[in-house]
């Protein structure tokens, strides 16, 4: 439970509510897969922050380091790796107070700062974040020129080739991604 005490003038009040992502399952997809484009709706338990004062976005970490802020998370162009997606509610006029993306600032440090006695801005991260794992695609495999004579055939990825042509065959690598 978080209790906010405001002074007599109404300053130092922060009623940001990031809600919860507890009911959102972890994502494990291949690089570039359309399944990495999704809309996540936090659960506010009926207590969403006032949208005339507060905005909502997502804080994205890569290996727990702050990587980006994005209101519509689309990981389809992200390189392989392990990411964290956290909801972030903040006072709309404090967008300039977001921490810089410098490759060393940790998500847990940001959460601790927001929950401190003197936070750098009015905001709240979700208590849990969704783990997004992006597996690498394999490089394209070229078999080169294969000669098929007479009634010969060649089997590639379970597909029998027995006539002249240029073939593009999607095969799954050991990580389950299209190669």
Half-sphere exposure of 25 (CA within 13 A, CB side): 5
What is the rounded distance in angstroms from the CA atom of residue 160 to the CA atom of residue 67? 45
% of the chain beyond a pLDDT of 90: 57
Confidence of residue 38 (pLDDT cuts 50, 70, 90): confident
Mean pLDDT of 51-71: 96
Of 95 and 13, the structure prediction assigns the larger pLDDT to 95
- Grouping H, G, I as helix, E, B as strand and the rest as coil, residue 106 is strand
Could you tell me which residues come within 8 angstroms of residue 159 by beta carbon, excluding any fewer than 6 positions away?
167, 169
Q: Can you give the pLDDT at residue 52?
A: 94
Comparing 74-78, 124-128, 147-151, which segment has the lowest mean pLDDT? 147-151
Question: Chain-wide mean pLDDT for the chain?
Answer: 85
pLDDT number for residue 173 = 62
Higher per-residue pLDDT: 136 or 173: 136
Two structure tokens written together for 4? 């906010």
pLDDT at residue 125 in the model? 97
User: In the predicted model, what is the mean pLDDT of residues 124-146?
Assistant: 83
* Rounded distance between C-alpha atoms, residue 98 and residue 110, angstroms: 10
CA distance 138 to 30: 10
Secondary element (H or E) of residue 114: helix 107-114
pLDDT level of residue 4 (50, 70, 90 thresholds): low
Flag whether pLDDT at 10 surpasses 60.
no
Q: With 0-12 CB in 10 A as exposed, 13-18 as middle and 19+ as buried, what is 143?
A: exposed
Strands (E), the chain: 27-30, 54-62, 65-70, 81-91, 123-125, 130-135, 154-156, 159-161
Average pLDDT over residues 144-162: 73
Name the pairing type of β-strands 81-91 and 130-135.
Answer: antiparallel
For residue 141, is pLDDT > 80? no
pLDDT at 178: 64
């Amino acid at each position: 439970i978080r209790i906010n005490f405001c002074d007599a003038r109404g300053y130092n009040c922060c009623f940001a509510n990031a809600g919860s992502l507890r009911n959102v399952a972890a994502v494990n997809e291949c690089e570039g897969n359309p399944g990495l484009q999704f809309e996540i709706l936090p659960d506010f338990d009926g207590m969403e922050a006032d949208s005339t004062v507060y905005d909502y976005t997502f804080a994205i970490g890569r290996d727990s380091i702050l990587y980006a802020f994005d209101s519509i998370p689309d990981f389809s162009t992200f390189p392989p790796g392990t990411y964290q997606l956290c909801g972030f509610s903040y006072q709309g006029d404090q967008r300039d107070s977001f921490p810089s993306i410098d490759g060393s600032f940790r998500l847990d440090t940001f959460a601790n700062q927001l929950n401190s006695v003197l936070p750098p801005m009015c905001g709240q991260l979700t208590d849990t974040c969704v783990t997004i794992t992006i597996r690498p695609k394999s490089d394209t495999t070229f078999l080169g020129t294969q000669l098929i004579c007479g009634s010969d055939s060649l089997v590639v990825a379970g597909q029998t080739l027995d006539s002249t042509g240029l073939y593009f065959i999607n095969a799954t690598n050991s990580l389950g991604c299209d190669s």
